[in-house]
């Protein structure tokens, strides 16, 4: 039995077409699922130890159980394909190379939870993905995998594609729902959570593309099989988007728990010209940076949380000794400043202050007190915002600033030597 879920599919010839997908065994899982009871599917997903691949790493089976029982009215499934976390490009591969895997995962999920309509919320910039997914939806509908009485069962389900308008915040699930409803993408106050009141006020499940794409293999091979691929409480494999200072950047599917150093030095071919490792952002920009000394660590949700960072979206960005922390920090600050939705004060004004402090630090007027203020403002945002964006900017900026304090102060000192 194969120990990779995505690799063969992503590399298959014409894997983006229905024909190519079915040749690889596609939609066999859906056929099996429709023979199973919905409860049994949920049980398999719980057994799989699958955790959300969007960033938070919440146990998927548990998230599924938050939905109230079906009441005969509309209930929605939303695939979060608003892949905007800097450094992340895993979902793009699924969307463009094997879109039917996502659709199959969605259909099974909808069947398991009694969801009546599915939406794919696609990052606005993913124009190629849009074409692929639209074609896949049409193919699946023609083949009877979508629509009324799927494969002659009693189950009906449709999927529609919606392209976002280019806002990072819409990856946050309630901002996504607002945008899907045609409103400005501002995160909602929680509670209520989408499971009870989501899209148009109805129960809604929102899962990441990669998460949903794991479902067919869990159903086909069993939850315990999936769990066995990864490490404790971290079922399955993960698509790591490796970028930055490595010889072989790209997408790597590896079991959860693979050591970060193995990813960089074995799979990624190490750092060009044998320069020294400076640090790694292990899970997308919002994951606090790890210094070179902290990089001997298994890539799973719990190990990284213990190290004060997170596995996040699985985007691993590698920096070497020639990269200046000031440049990394200032582009990080610039990104959050640009993307803050502006709804609540700490994030809206905090990111603006961070940007101005950063500009000052980089200018001749920069002083140590600007650096201290930067750290304090970053901390001041944390835990006080409506959505996790605030915590993300806070932790990412603070980690860079604190862990590389010496370099920053050296720069400020040299400035006025």
Partner 1 sequence: MVEITFNGHPYSVEEGSTVLAAAQRVGVPIPYFCNHPLLKPAGLCRMCLVEIRGFPKLQTACTTTVKEGMEVLTETESVKQARREILEFHFAQHPLDCPECDQAGACLLQEWLYRFGFTRRRFYFQRDRKEKLVPLGENLLLDRERCILCLRCLRFCDEVLGHHLLAVTERGSRSCIATAGERRLETLYNGNLAQICPVGAILEKDMKARVRNWLVQSRPTGCPLCSRGCALLVDTPKEYPYLAHYPRLVRVQADSRGEERSGFICDIGRYSLKSLEENRLSKILQRGGEIDEARMKEVLKEKLAALETVVLSSWLSLEEIDRALLLFRDRLQLRIFSWGRGDGDGDTLLVRKERNPNGTYLRQRSVKPLVDGELSDPGNTLLFGDFFPDYPLFAEGIVRSGGFKALITPYRPSLKGEIFDLVVPVCSFLEKEGSYMDFQEKQWRASKVFEPVEGTLREGEILSFLDGEGEQP
Half-sphere exposure of 28 (CA within 13 A, CB side): 10
Contact between 60 and partner 1 by CB under 8 A: the answer reads: no
Among residue numbers 240 through 259, which ones bind partner 1 (CB under 8 A)? none
Contact between 189 and partner 1 by CB under 8 A: the answer reads: yes
Quick one: which segment of 193-201, 306-314, 348-356, 407-415 binds partner 1 (CB under 8 A)? 348-356
Strands of the sheet containing 237-244, edge to edge, are 250-255, 237-244, 315-320, 277-281, 290-291
Closest CA to 77 of 115, 111, 41: 115
Choose which of 62, 149, 345, 413 interacts with partner 1 (CB under 8 A).
345
Contact between 171 and partner 1 by CB under 8 A: the answer reads: no
Contact between 196 and partner 1 by CB under 8 A: the answer reads: no
- Contact between 80 and 208 under an 8 Å Cβ cutoff? The reply is yes
Least distance to partner 1, CB of residue 80, Å: 20
H or E element in which residue 162 lies: strand 158-163
Contact between 193 and partner 1 by CB under 8 A: the answer reads: no
CA distance 401 to 386: 24
Least distance to partner 1, CB of residue 355, Å: 9
Contact between 352 and partner 1 by CB under 8 A: the answer reads: yes
Distances (CA, A) of 252 to 259, 261, 320: 13, 14, 20
Contact between 373 and partner 1 by CB under 8 A: the answer reads: yes
H or E element in which residue 79 lies: strand 76-81
Choose which of 316, 353, 396, 397 interacts with partner 1 (CB under 8 A).
353
Q: C-alpha angle 79/338/336, rounded to 5°?
A: 75
Among residue numbers 287 through 306, which ones bind partner 1 (CB under 8 A)? none
Least distance to partner 1, CB of residue 170, Å: 11
Least distance to partner 1, CB of residue 396, Å: 16
Q: Which is nearer to partner 1, 14 or 338 (CB)?
A: 338
Contact between 339 and partner 1 by CB under 8 A: the answer reads: yes
Contact between 96 and partner 1 by CB under 8 A: the answer reads: no
Contact between 32 and partner 1 by CB under 8 A: the answer reads: no
Q: Which is nearer to partner 1, 260 or 381 (CB)?
A: 381
Contact between 341 and partner 1 by CB under 8 A: the answer reads: yes
Helices first, then strands: H and E counts in the chain = 18, 9
CA distance 304 to 289: 11
Least distance to partner 1, CB of residue 341, Å: 6
H or E element in which residue 207 lies: strand 204-208
Q: Prior bond to 116 cis, omega within 30?
A: no
Task: For the chain, give the number of residues.
Answer: 417
Least distance to partner 1, CB of residue 25, Å: 44
Choose which of 109, 313, 340, 394 interacts with partner 1 (CB under 8 A).
340
Least distance to partner 1, CB of residue 178, Å: 12
Closest CA to 57 of 236, 189, 243: 236
Binding residues for partner 1, rule: CB under 8 A, are 167, 184, 189, 337-346, 348-353, 356-357, 359-360, 369, 373, 376-377, 380, 383-386
């Amino acid at each position: 039995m194969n120990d990779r879920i995505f690799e063969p599919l992503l590399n298959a010839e014409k894997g983006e077409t229905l024909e190519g997908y079915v040749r690889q065994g596609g939609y066999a899982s859906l056929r099996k699922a429709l023979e199973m009871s919905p409860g049994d599917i949920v049980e398999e997903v719980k057994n799989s130890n699958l955790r959300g691949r969007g960033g938070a790493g919440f146990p998927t089976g548990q998230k599924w159980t938050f939905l109230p029982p079906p009441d005969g009215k509309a209930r929605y499934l939303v695939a979060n394909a608003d892949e905007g976390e800097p450094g992340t490009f895993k979902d793009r591969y699924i969307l463009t190379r094997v879109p039917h895997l996502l659709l199959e995962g969605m259909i099974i999920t909808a069947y398991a939870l009694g969801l009546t309509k599915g939406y794919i919320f696609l990052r606005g910039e993913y124009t190629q993905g849009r074409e692929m997914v639209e074609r896949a939806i049409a193919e699946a509908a023609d083949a009877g995998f979508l629509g009324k009485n799927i494969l002659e069962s009693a189950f009906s389900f449709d999927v529609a594609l919606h392209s976002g308008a280019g806002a990072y915040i819409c990856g946050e699930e309630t901002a996504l729902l607002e945008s899907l409803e045609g409103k400005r993408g501002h995160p909602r106050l929680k509670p209520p959570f989408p499971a009870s009141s989501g899209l148009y006020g109805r129960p809604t499940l929102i899962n990441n593309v990669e998460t949903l794409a794991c479902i067919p293999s869990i159903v086909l091979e069993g939850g315990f099989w999936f769990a066995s691929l990864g490490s404790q409480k971290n079922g399955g494999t993960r698509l790591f988007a490796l970028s930055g200072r490595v010889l072989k950047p790209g997408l790597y599917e590896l079991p959860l728990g693979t050591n970060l150093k193995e990813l960089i030095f074995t799979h990624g071919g190490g750092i060009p010209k044998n320069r020294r490792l400076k640090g790694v952002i292990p899970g997308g920009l919002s994951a606090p940076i790890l210094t070179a000394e902290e990089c001997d660590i298994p890539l799973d949700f719990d190990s990284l949380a213990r190290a004060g960072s997170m596995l996040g979206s699985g985007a691993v960005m590698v920096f070497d000794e020639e990269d200046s922390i000031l440049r990394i920090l200032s582009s990080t600050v610039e990104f959050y400043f640009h993307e803050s939705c502006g709804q609540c004060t700490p994030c809206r004004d905090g990111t603006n202050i961070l940007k101005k402090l950063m500009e000052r630090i980089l200018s001749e007027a920069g002083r140590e007190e600007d650096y201290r203020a930067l750290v304090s403002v970053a901390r001041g945002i944390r835990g006080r915002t409506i959505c996790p964006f605030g915590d993300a900017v806070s932790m990412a900026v603070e980690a860079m600033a604190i862990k590389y304090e010496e370099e920053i102060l050296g720069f400020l000192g040299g400035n006025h030597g």
